[in-house]
Amino acid sequence: MSAAASSDAPGNGWTGIAPVLLSAALFAWFLSLGPQVAAGETLRLAVPWVPSLGLELAFAIDGLALAFALMISGIGIAVMLHAHFYLRGDRHFGRFLLFMMSFMLSMLGLVLADDLILLFVFWELTTITSYLLIGYGHDSAKSRRSALQALFVTGAGGLAFLAGAILIGIATGSTSISELLAGDGLTDHALYLPILILVLAGAFTKSAQYPFHFWLPNAMAAPTPVSAFLHSATMVKAGVYLMARLHPALSGTDVWFWALTIAGAVTAVLASLLALRQTDLKQALAYTTLMALGTLTLLLGQSTGYAITAFATFLIVHALYKAALFLLVANIDHGTGTRDATLLGGLGRAMPFTALAAMLSALSMAGLPPFLGFIGKELMYAGVENAPTWPEFIGASLVLANALMVAVAAVVAFKPFWRPPGGPLPAEPHEAPWGMWAGPLVLAILATVLGIFPAVVQSLVVTPTVDSLLQDPAEAKELKLWAGVNLALILSGVTVGLGLLIYLLHQPLRRMIARIDEATFSLDGNWDRFLDGLIGLATWQTRVLQNGRLKSYMSITFLTLLVAMAAPMIVYGVWEIPTSLDAPNWIEAAIVLLILAGIALVILTSSRIAAIAGLGVVGVSVALVFIINGAPDVAITQLLVETLVVVLVAVAMLRLPFLTPERRPATDALLALGVGTVVTLTLFAVLAAPIDRRLTDFFELASYTEAYGRNIVNVILVDFRALDTFGEIAVVAVAALSAVALLRGVRGGGK
């Protein structure tokens, strides 16, 4: 991000400090709730929202929610402070702050929501703010692509989650999370499998589990404070949060275990390998975030005290070191102008505070004592011993992923500071302003201090979280640095040894992984093809449906009419065909024969005059029908209009070309006869049903008594329904005006 530019640019004033203070205030408030929650209480707040749907703005703070809330607001302090300096003088800084604060509040809403629908609303808000923040550098096509990709992938997952939430609502009769967790769980319900698939689809896309992981590294197009906050410490953990939140209701089955274990293990190992492949420090960190998300998912697959304790611990550990490292990479970028691991080196002296913070964070990431990372890793390994099935698979995945973490930690935080540079740097290295290293340094020191005094984390976060997930605080294992010589310690030793070996060999390994990576299928590589395909499909569909041909539109319209009228008749079996005809008198038969003859003339002739004559015959015959059936007014109007129609057509014909015979497909005839038949059948059905004469009776009685008219039809038109008649006049007037406008421009004068 080039915005990390010259320090003589105008500052951001005090606006940038407000978010820091807000985050700090929120953090302090959540911290003050700690003792209550640690005592096993759940704090609730509910305001009616959509009472008709039983939806409430319900919030609940239990151990798990508080852990996340502390993480979000706490990391928020460091990130907001950093951004204030990092984006100094940025033109859109106000916009940036708006997005960041919206995100932070949405994320807090997400973890505090006590209703699945409410959770979904916040979930989508984080998706949208993430989209806006990834696309913050909107003048770059890459940013826009990445932003859209993240929006599509997590948005689609969000919809799946919504469907899952609705199914849960159907299954339990409520979308309240408290009620769900207080119930017997859903594992025996008939809808369990669809619910699980939909919820996991949402969680896996949000938390970037394989094979949906590709959007997260691309999301690094965002400014680095955003990456540190959203795409490492908080938003991507929303999926993990959802799985943890629903853990009591959904876990314990084989499907749950295998889905989470396999997705988590594959993501963790694959991501750590790809992390090693990166030369861009920020990209490398992005992949290690994937590794962490995979590990958290893997741990949630199990229900043992060890696994869940390790989950809670690693959640905090990762947030502390990863947010710090991201911010420090921004400092390196700021101080040297590059993030290329192959170039960077020897920064330790020029950037002492950054180097110190990076070293502490990296040691925690590598899982070395006495850092909190070490405790997290020991707990994971201890969990392996107690894993219900396939401990070898889980153990091997964890050891490999952690060893790679050691190597990546060295690449990111050791090599740039203490090894000689690999080439000339774009700028003379210099330390970042205090606000950019203070936050990460505090986070790094926390990772150290909390490692030495783990009881704070234990009582404030870990035990309450375990209580939330397993409903038993006694299941929480003790966080301690020294647990004696056991399997976990041996695995730790193996991990560190393997990690150092990988670090020493990381250059050739990087080339090898890059070759394999490029040769294999990736969803990201096919993303553009997928989008092109989608657009192609839309274009094709538009061309088929909106092809600009009147005949297609008419065919579709009539076909729809045919189906819409025929389907109910077939479904409800309404067939009313009159079986007996009253003996028709010769006048009626003659009129109908005239109509048929007129129609035949119009259809069959290519002579325009004959066609006009046919139309005239039909029009006059219809007027005759009106006359003999007691509708003289209608008949008069019909005669008048028919005369005008014939006259106008005849006049127009003087200037219009001759008709030519045309070849028509048989389907036209079929469609025409079909529509005629369903209309007639519908009329029969109407005639067979009893008529409702209430309105007619009203008009007959009220016509004279209320409107003083003896011609009931006229009274209806000019009195009872006068407004309709006025509308009708307006329509005719508009038609006449339009006709005049159309005729005005005709060459050689109008009619």
Total site size for other proteins, rule CB under 8 A: 95
- Contact between 28 and other proteins by CB under 8 A: the answer reads no
Helix axes 63-86, 434-452, angle to 10 degrees: 150
- Contact between 650 and other proteins by CB under 8 A: the answer reads no
User: Closest distance between other proteins and the C-beta of residue 575, in Å?
Assistant: 14
Strand-pair partners of 46: 58
- Contact between 507 and other proteins by CB under 8 A: the answer reads no
CA 700, chain centre distance (Å): 60
Among the candidate windows 18-26, 146-154, 472-480, 625-633, which touches other proteins by CB under 8 A? Answer: 625-633
Among the candidate windows 299-307, 341-349, 460-468, 664-672, which touches other proteins by CB under 8 A? Answer: 664-672
User: Closest distance between other proteins and the C-beta of residue 536, in Å?
Assistant: 15
- Exposed e or buried b per residue across 266-296, where buried means at least 16 C-beta atoms within 10 angstroms of its C-beta: bbbbbbbbbbbbbbbbbbbbbbbbbbbbbbb
- Contact between 610 and other proteins by CB under 8 A: the answer reads no
- Contact between 112 and other proteins by CB under 8 A: the answer reads no
Own/partner long-range contacts of 706-715 (Cβ < 8 Å, ≥24 apart):
711/633, 713/631, 713/633, 713/634, 714/633
Rounded to 5 degrees, φ, ψ at 619 are -60, -45
Pick the closer one to other proteins by CB: 50 or 589: 589
Among the candidate windows 387-395, 438-446, 467-475, 737-745, which touches other proteins by CB under 8 A? Answer: 737-745
Residue in this structure with the two tokens 């009419």, named with its chain if needed = 561
Selected binder of other proteins within 662, 666, 723, 749 (CB under 8 A): 662
Among the candidate windows 13-21, 191-199, 486-494, 679-687, which touches other proteins by CB under 8 A? Answer: 679-687
CA 690, chain centre distance (Å): 52
Among the candidate windows 88-96, 224-232, 317-325, 600-608, which touches other proteins by CB under 8 A? Answer: 600-608
The footprint of other proteins on residues 119-158 (CB under 8 A) is none
Q: How many C-alpha atoms does 746 have within 13 Å on its Cβ side?
A: 12
Pick the closer one to other proteins by CB: 32 or 705: 705
> For residues 222 and 326, is the Cβ–Cβ distance under 8 A?
no
- Contact between 556 and other proteins by CB under 8 A: the answer reads no
The footprint of other proteins on residues 523-552 (CB under 8 A) is 548-551
- Contact between 719 and other proteins by CB under 8 A: the answer reads no
- Contact between 652 and other proteins by CB under 8 A: the answer reads yes
A 10 A CB-CB count for 411 gives 25
321: Cβ–Cβ under 8 A, 6 or more apart, which residues? 361, 362, 364, 365, 373, 443, 444, 447
* Alpha carbons 687 and 634: distance in angstroms, whole number: 21
- Contact between 684 and other proteins by CB under 8 A: the answer reads yes
The footprint of other proteins on residues 626-645 (CB under 8 A) is 626, 628-634, 637-638, 641, 644-645
DSSP one-letter string for 495-545: HHHHHHHHHHTHHHHHHHHHHHHHHS--TTTTHHHHHHHHHHHHHHHHHHH
Selected binder of other proteins within 258, 542, 700, 722 (CB under 8 A): 700
The footprint of other proteins on residues 81-100 (CB under 8 A) is none
Pick the closer one to other proteins by CB: 2 or 747: 747
- Contact between 704 and other proteins by CB under 8 A: the answer reads yes
Q: How far is CA 524 from CA 199, 285, 347, 529, 583, in A?
A: 23, 18, 34, 9, 78
Closest CA to 562 of 674, 686, 667: 674
Selected binder of other proteins within 25, 53, 554, 567 (CB under 8 A): 554
Pick the closer one to other proteins by CB: 520 or 579: 579
Pick the closer one to other proteins by CB: 242 or 716: 716
Helix axes 116-134, 141-172, angle to 10 degrees: 180
- Contact between 555 and other proteins by CB under 8 A: the answer reads yes
Give the contact letters, 360-389, x = binds to other proteins (CB under 8 A), - = no.
------------------------------
User: Closest distance between other proteins and the C-beta of residue 295, in Å?
Assistant: 54
> For residues 260 and 315, is the Cβ–Cβ distance under 8 A?
no
User: Closest distance between other proteins and the C-beta of residue 611, in Å?
Assistant: 6
- Contact between 603 and other proteins by CB under 8 A: the answer reads yes
- Contact between 486 and other proteins by CB under 8 A: the answer reads no
Pick the closer one to other proteins by CB: 516 or 554: 554
User: Closest distance between other proteins and the C-beta of residue 572, in Å?
Assistant: 19
Pick the closer one to other proteins by CB: 28 or 648: 648
What DSSP state is assigned to residue 113? B
Selected binder of other proteins within 41, 385, 475, 588 (CB under 8 A): 588
- Contact between 739 and other proteins by CB under 8 A: the answer reads yes
The footprint of other proteins on residues 241-260 (CB under 8 A) is none
Pick the closer one to other proteins by CB: 452 or 673: 673
- Contact between 27 and other proteins by CB under 8 A: the answer reads no
Closest CA to 244 of 157, 167, 310, 317: 310
* Alpha carbons 429 and 188: distance in angstroms, whole number: 61
Angle, alpha carbons 95-98-103 (nearest 5°): 130
* Alpha carbons 684 and 578: distance in angstroms, whole number: 7
Q: Is 426 exposed, middle or buried (0-12, 13-18, 19+ CB in 10 A)?
A: exposed
